[in-house]
Amino acid sequence: MTPVLSVNQLTKFYGPIRALNGVSFDVPKGSVFGILGPNGSGKTTLLGIVMDVLKQTSGSFQMFGKTPDADTRKHIGTLLETPNFYHYLSGERNLRIAAEIKEKGHEQIDDVLKKVNLYERKGSKFSTYSLGMKQRLAIAAALLGDPDVLMFDEPTNGLDPVGIAEIRNLILQLAAEGKTIIMASHILDEVEKVCTHVAIIQKGDLKTVGTVAEVLSKNADSTNLIEVSADNLEQLLIVVKGFAGVTEAYVQEGFVKVICGQDISARDINRYCFDNGIVLDRLNLKRKSLETTFLEITGKVSER
């Protein structure tokens, strides 16, 4: 089947800074495709090139098997980076402009506003909206014309927890309707909860790509994630890092999370800590999450 989006050796320089480095991947039809990467890794640059607001230095991309033009974009709902609207116009009037450009009828405007819970404030000026409301309006604009492909760049940016849950449910619902969703995010949890596929990019390099299950299993056989805790986490962290075979350790949510080789068991860690004068009060061997895989792939925080 022809991929919805196919990028081929995309490279982008901003002056001397390389934002994308020969990135290639395909987005299959009907997938929820997460582009995951730390801030500044090139996610927005990638989507910007695909939407023709940025020009690539080299490489190419295709949508539905052909080089896209302005008309192709009319059938894609896109939220790129920030909600971009005329501040002096109401939410509704802004959507009229979007609908007019997309050549979709105005009669859908109320529907999409209701979908994102903004209907009551449709007459207020955009400049009076909160960050979350602006984000909702941008999502509403993307939904105009019921497009088959949606591109969301950090869709839950600025939303409160309830809003985040709503938007996630909306994305899942859209996916269930068979729409293809391409979503850039730096929030692992978000990608893990809604995506079927994931591409991880870092500093413009594509690190890995595939279904979420593939990406997890690709790295799953080589490492374990063990959670440990003790009275003194800092000391524990230093000790654990000194253990041969530990590839990465960091403190999170009151635990020291240890990523280590498959050959190291919870028992080994326990003994090693005890030998070094630390008595563990918690010890968990965790199922691997996308988060640990992500951290392994992208390296330590300081290296990002």
Q: DSSP string of 255-269?
A: EEEEEEETT--HHHH
Q: Which is nearer to another protein, 19 or 159 (CB)?
A: 19
Largest alpha-carbon pair distance within the chain? 72
User: Residue 91's CB: how many other CB atoms inside 10 A?
Assistant: 27
Least distance (Å) between residue 199 CB and another protein: 21
State in angstroms the smallest separation of the CB of 167 from another protein: 19
Task: Please identify which residue in 2, 86, 213, 284 interacts with another protein, judged by CB under 8 A.
Answer: 86
Single out the residue of 58, 60, 65, 100 in contact with another protein (rule: CB under 8 A).
Answer: 100
Asked if residue 292 binds another protein (CB under 8 A), the reply is no
C-alpha span between 8 and 24 (Å, rounded): 4
Tell how strand 223-229 and strand 255-261 pair up: antiparallel
Q: For another protein, which residue of 8, 53, 222, 234 counts as binding (CB under 8 A)?
A: 53
Q: Which C-beta is closer to another protein: that of 78 or that of 298?
A: 78
> Least Å distance between CB 144 and another protein?
9
69 is an interface residue for another protein by CB under 8 A: yes
Compute the least distance from the CB of residue 48 to another protein, in Å.
8
Asked if residue 247 binds another protein (CB under 8 A), the reply is no
Nearest distance from C-beta of residue 25 to another protein, angstroms: 21
Instruction: Render 129-189 in DSSP notation, one character per residue.
Output: S-HHHHHHHHHHHHHTT--SEEEEESTTTT--HHHHHHHHHHHHHHHHTT-EEEEEES-HH
Q: Is residue 73 part of the contact set for another protein (CB under 8 A)?
A: yes
Per-position DSSP letters for 85-99, written without gaps between them: --TTSBHHHHHHHHH
Cβ 170 to another protein, closest distance in Å? 20
User: Is residue 43 within 8 Å of residue 23, measured between CB atoms?
Assistant: no
Enumerate the β-bridge partners of residue 20. 12
Which of 9, 24, 82, 235 binds another protein (CB under 8 A)? It is: 82
Instruction: Of 83, 62, 217, 201, give the one whose Cα is nearest residue 142.
Output: 83
Stretch that binds another protein, among 26-34, 53-61, 158-166, 212-220 (CB under 8 A): 53-61
- Helices 131-143 and 161-176, packing angle to 10 deg: 10
Kindly write out the interface string for residues 121-150 of this chain, putting x where it contacts another protein by CB under 8 A and - elsewhere. --------------------x---------
Residue that the structure tokens 């994308």 belong to: 20
Binding site for another protein (CB under 8 A): 14, 48, 51-55, 69-71, 73-75, 78, 80, 82, 84-89, 93, 96-98, 100-103, 141
